[in-house]
């Protein structure tokens, strides 16, 4: 594109130069001819050869006429020289402008070509340079890149989560079908034999399997959220009451948000349980208060409202999570606890999204972890 602009520009400049030379030469020539016709020739005719002064005048006129062609060329050259200087300055400015515009555009187009759907976007943002219009375009491109990255994560996670849901549904159904007859016959044999300890063991294990299946069922059959305006502080207090050593802080106890009471409590329950497990505490009942208490709490629930955004953060001072694993903890099946299926946080995230909220996590090994649920900001 740049070469095309430059070629067109050079051709245009040459045409302008050629036409300027021709017009100027013809104009000067015409002027000379007019002077000859209107002044010189009538003057010549009036001059009398017998007079010495007239003879000298005739000689001077002859010299003038002889050199008129040369003078025409000389005047044209001087005029064109000035014009050429202006033309060169204009050309320099234009070429500068072309490079200013095309250089960032070329960078932009190279980066756009690198975007490959289906592959991870590896491009970094482009430096904003060039004219205002080009900067606006680059800003839009950088913003698009950011959003594409976010959508890529979202779609990727959504696709993985849907995959898990489907598999869970199938597994739950099939395994249920398999264990049902086993349970039925085991219960029958329980009454038939004297030493039923082993049958009791079988039945207990079957119950455990059913418990695991229930968790999978929860993930694959999450209920639709029915959002109603609820007092956030009251709901949080209800959940905190179920646990020990959990502190609440709230800057506004009257915050009302559209929430599904049951699902919202489930989110909090999961996160608080995780926090308590990270700090080595088991969950138990505790009275919640809205002011700083004298208990040394290791898990804290904080409710903050800034502008239109309400953030509920659940933090603990447990062992923390490595930074490299933070982006995996919401993935179904991920767990750092032996014997755990690893779908709790995945369910928490789905339920958060059902509330039109976002959840994020920050952690430092040895210092603790904080989960933040933000209401009022959405990815569209």
Q: Which is nearer to another protein, 30 or 295 (CB)?
A: 30
How many residues are recorded in the chain?
380
Q: Which is nearer to another protein, 70 or 285 (CB)?
A: 70
Give dist(CA 16, CA 22) in Å, integer.
10
Nearest to 247 by CA among 215, 213, 200, 279: 279
User: Any idea which residue has 């005047």 for tokens?
Assistant: 75
Tokens representing 143? 């913003």
Contact segment (CB under 8 A) with another protein among 64-72, 164-172, 204-212, 244-252 equals 64-72
Q: Which is nearer to another protein, 60 or 136 (CB)?
A: 60
Q: Quick one: how far is CA 193 from the chain centroid? A: 67
- Round to the nearest angstrom and report the end-to-end CA distance of the chain: 36
61 binds another protein (CB under 8 A): yes
Q: How far is the CB of 74 from another protein (least distance, A)?
A: 10
Beta-carbon contacts of 363 under 8 Å, excluding residues fewer than 6 positions away, are 320, 321, 322, 323, 326, 369, 370
Q: How far is the CB of 73 from another protein (least distance, A)?
A: 6
Give dist(CA 343, CA 5) in Å, integer.
59
Q: How many residues bind another protein (CB under 8 A)?
A: 21
DSSP string over 49-91: TTSHHHHHHHHHHHHHHHTHHHHHHHHHHHHHHHHHHHHHHHH
Contact segment (CB under 8 A) with another protein among 68-76, 92-100, 144-152, 169-177 equals 68-76
Give dist(CA 239, CA 268) in Å, integer.
7
Given candidates 1, 15, 22, 226, which one binds another protein under the rule CB under 8 A? 22
Strand, coil or helix: 281: coil
62 binds another protein (CB under 8 A): yes
Q: How far is the CB of 105 from another protein (least distance, A)?
A: 37
Across 195-204, b (16+ Cβ under 10 Å) vs e yields eeeebeebbe
Q: How far is the CB of 102 from another protein (least distance, A)?
A: 32
Q: How far is the CB of 95 from another protein (least distance, A)?
A: 23
Q: Which is nearer to another protein, 32 or 363 (CB)?
A: 32
Tokens representing 173? 């159904």
Nearest to 225 by CA among 267, 254, 255: 267
Q: How far is the CB of 24 from another protein (least distance, A)?
A: 8
58 binds another protein (CB under 8 A): yes
Beta-carbon contacts of 267 under 8 Å, excluding residues fewer than 6 positions away, are 348, 351, 352, 355, 373
Q: Which is nearer to another protein, 41 or 201 (CB)?
A: 41
Beta-carbon contacts of 303 under 8 Å, excluding residues fewer than 6 positions away, are 232, 233, 236, 248, 249, 250, 251, 252, 255, 310, 311, 312
Q: Which is nearer to another protein, 32 or 369 (CB)?
A: 32
Q: Which is nearer to another protein, 48 or 132 (CB)?
A: 48
66 binds another protein (CB under 8 A): yes
Q: How far is the CB of 92 from another protein (least distance, A)?
A: 21
Nearest to 376 by CA among 317, 283, 306, 274: 306
Given candidates 10, 15, 18, 212, which one binds another protein under the rule CB under 8 A? 18
Given candidates 7, 11, 43, 63, which one binds another protein under the rule CB under 8 A? 63
The CA angle 150-164-258, to the nearest 5 degrees, is 60
Q: How far is the CB of 60 from another protein (least distance, A)?
A: 9
Q: Which is nearer to another protein, 63 or 155 (CB)?
A: 63
- Build a one-symbol-per-residue string for 69-108: x at contacts with another protein by CB under 8 A, - elsewhere: xx-xx--xx--x----------------------------
- Build a one-symbol-per-residue string for 24-53: x at contacts with another protein by CB under 8 A, - elsewhere: -xx---------------------------
Q: How far is the CB of 30 from another protein (least distance, A)?
A: 13
Which positions lie near another protein, rule CB under 8 A? 18, 21-22, 25-26, 55, 58-59, 61-63, 65-67, 69-70, 72-73, 76-77, 80
């Amino acid at each position: 594109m740049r070469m095309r602009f430059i070629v067109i520009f050079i051709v245009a400049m040459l045409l302008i130069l050629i036409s300027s030379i021709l017009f100027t030469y013809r104009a000067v020539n015409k002027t000379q001819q007019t002077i000859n016709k209107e002044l010189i020739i009538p003057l010549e005719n009036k001059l009398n050869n017998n007079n010495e002064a007239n003879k000298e005048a005739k000689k001077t006129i002859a010299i003038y006429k002889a050199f008129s062609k040369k003078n025409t060329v000389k005047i044209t050259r001087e005029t064109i020289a000035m014009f050429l200087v202006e033309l060169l300055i204009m050309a320099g400015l234009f070429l500068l402008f072309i490079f200013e515009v095309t250089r960032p555009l070329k960078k932009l187009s190279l980066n756009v070509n690198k975007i490959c759907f289906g592959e991870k976007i590896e491009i970094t943002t482009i430096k904003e340079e060039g004219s205002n219009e080009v900067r606006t375009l680059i800003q839009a491109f950088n913003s698009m890149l950011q959003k594409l990255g976010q959508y890529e994560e979202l779609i990727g996670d959504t696709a993985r989560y849907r995959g898990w849901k489907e598999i869970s549904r199938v597994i739950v159904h099939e395994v249920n079908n398999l264990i049902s007859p086993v349970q039925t016959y085991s219960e029958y044999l329980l009454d038939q034999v004297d030493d039923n300890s082993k049958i009791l063991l079988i039945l207990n294990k079957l119950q455990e399997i059913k418990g695991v299946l229930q968790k999978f069922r929860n993930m694959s059959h999450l209920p639709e959220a029915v959002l109603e305006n609820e007092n956030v502080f009251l709901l949080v207090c209800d959940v905190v009451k179920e646990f020990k050593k959990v502190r609440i802080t709230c800057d506004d106890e009257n915050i009302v948000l559209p929430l599904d009471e049951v699902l919202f409590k489930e989110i909090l329950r999961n996160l608080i349980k995780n926090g308590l497990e990270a700090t080595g505490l088991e969950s138990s009942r505790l009275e919640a208060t809205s002011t700083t208490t004298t208990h040394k709490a290791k898990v804290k629930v904080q409710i903050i409202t800034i502008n239109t955004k309400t953030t509920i953060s659940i933090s603990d001072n447990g062992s923390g999570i490595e930074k490299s694993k933070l982006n995996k903890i919401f993935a179904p099946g991920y767990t750092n606890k032996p014997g755990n299926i690893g779908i709790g946080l995945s369910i928490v995230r789905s339920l958060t999204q059902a509330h039109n909220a976002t959840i994020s996590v920050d952690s430092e090994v040895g210092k603790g972890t904080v989960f933040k649920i933000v209401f009022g900001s959405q990815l569209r």
